[in-house]
Structure 1
Amino acid sequence: MHFMQTTGICLFDDMRGNDPMKNINEKKIGMVGFGHLGSSIAEALLNGGFSKSNLMISYRGSRATMDRVSGMKLESCVKDPKYLMKYSDIVILAARPQNIKEIAQNYVRKDTLIISFMAALPLSALSSFFDCSISRAMCSGPETISGGRGICVLHHGTDAARKLVSLCGMREMQIRTEDEVDAFTAGICIPPILMNINVDERERISTLKKMALRWSVYRELSGWIKAELASSASQNDKKSLENISTKGGVSEAMLSALRGGASFLSSVERGVKRCAELRSELCKNLAVEAA
């Protein structure tokens, strides 16, 4: 499959020496996907000072979406997907990755920046659908974003993407390669799991040290995990686990491994492996390359 170039003319080209987010409230930001993640990102943007008048939310008739929109008093932000994709300066993809083909049917300008929070969808696959600048993002769960404790990694991150993540109150952690997105994904599943399943503290510390030797992102991630566990007493632990656990997903694979008698290290490794499996399955179904 031919992959479109994403390095052409771009409004957010960092090489031009412009401050891409100097006037962020003048940018149009479009949200595609308004579930738990999408709505928490939108809420964080608004709490960070972004103008509601420049926020657009894609709507295709879903009652659940409209309920969330109404609950946040954002009815004026609702737009048709075609309009949103065409007129947004920044498009945030927070929908199910299986919907990417349908989303990509809409025209996107070459000077648009797409920030994809779609799990398991690599940059190479995203680049086959859009002819514009793309950053791939992965962040911690919605409740951490809403609580001001969100963290995020960016692959092919531009200054604009980093500014937006910062505006949402999320702390960016550095990754060296796209493979580290998988390791990060398994890592952000750890706090809810440990809030519900007891693992010896020495084993936890040892595991995180070993992961940090393999994946540099764990040098920062380990501290966040510790902080999340320390604050868990005031959180709804069971609900937190439900929010990150989906059938056939990464956290379920980690939980199954732990409950099956695997060591904590093996369960985290299983989570990383499950990320790769999900990526391969998704890309095969979409008929795009996984790397």
Structure 2
Amino acid sequence: MKNIKNGWHIVYILIFVVAVLCSIKLAYSQKVIDNESKSELSTRSFPKNQEKRNGIQILCYHRIVKDNSLTNVTKKLSNNDQIHEYSVTLPTFKHQIRTLKQHHARIISMKTAEMMMKSGKKFKHQYVVITFDDCDQTIFENAVPFLEQQGIPYTMFIVTGQVGNYNRGNQMEDWSKIQSLNKKSKLVTFGFHSNNFHYLVDNKPALTLPENYQAFKKDLHESQEKFQNKLHIKSNLYAYPYGKATDRIQDYLQKHGYVTFSLNMGIIDNDRDTKKGALPRIMVTNKSWKQGVLKWLR
């Protein structure tokens, strides 16, 4: 009988240890996700001298979710920034599009924006480019049908090594759906968001570490191959994970004809300096919409 009691004591201790280890792992995972979320929010404040000015503002979205009881309950039960900061409800997204139009901002494709920048002509209006990072499933379910119905052009930046995966609490869309959209839509443009460089090292974006330069070139080649094999297209668009990279990577991409994108607040206006380097792009949250978009709109 004594041996049986001792045996149960050992079992209880093992269960306790496992529970503690699981708690530590969950806490660490949450901390990693929180750090990633904070790192990807748009940096800096919107430049005062760009308010109400003509030019191009590029908007970045991550998740467009339905406004239903499940979404509301999830938000109340979770403090995950992926749900709060990264998610915009579909009604809010539609309202934001309507707001842009009501202020006479012209929503254009990325290709049109490129042509306008290259032309050297002065911007005579306010223009907006809609972009999505990561290629999350909610974008296909909620944002794409609305944009296609409204005839609004948009750009998707794909983490090619994570297509179809469950990543950072979100389900990435699979290649079959991306291929189908590429074939039937005349409004969508695709760009790179790395192959597998969407992570932090000591709270720093992996592409900001000088030692990753050669690995970055290999990673880019892998993304290019997947675009060719899966979509039969090429792209010259590269959105930096977390909006940052080294100057050496920026020089390499620019030398090879790429247009790169940061997550800095601001617009591309008639000042030549705003067209140099990684272009400003605002990650849309409630805060950045008020401080970066509404302050800019006339």
Point out the structure with the larger strand share. 2
TM-score (norm 2): 0.29
Could you say which structure has the greater relative contact order, defined with CA pairs below 8 angstroms and 6 or more residues apart?
Answer: 2
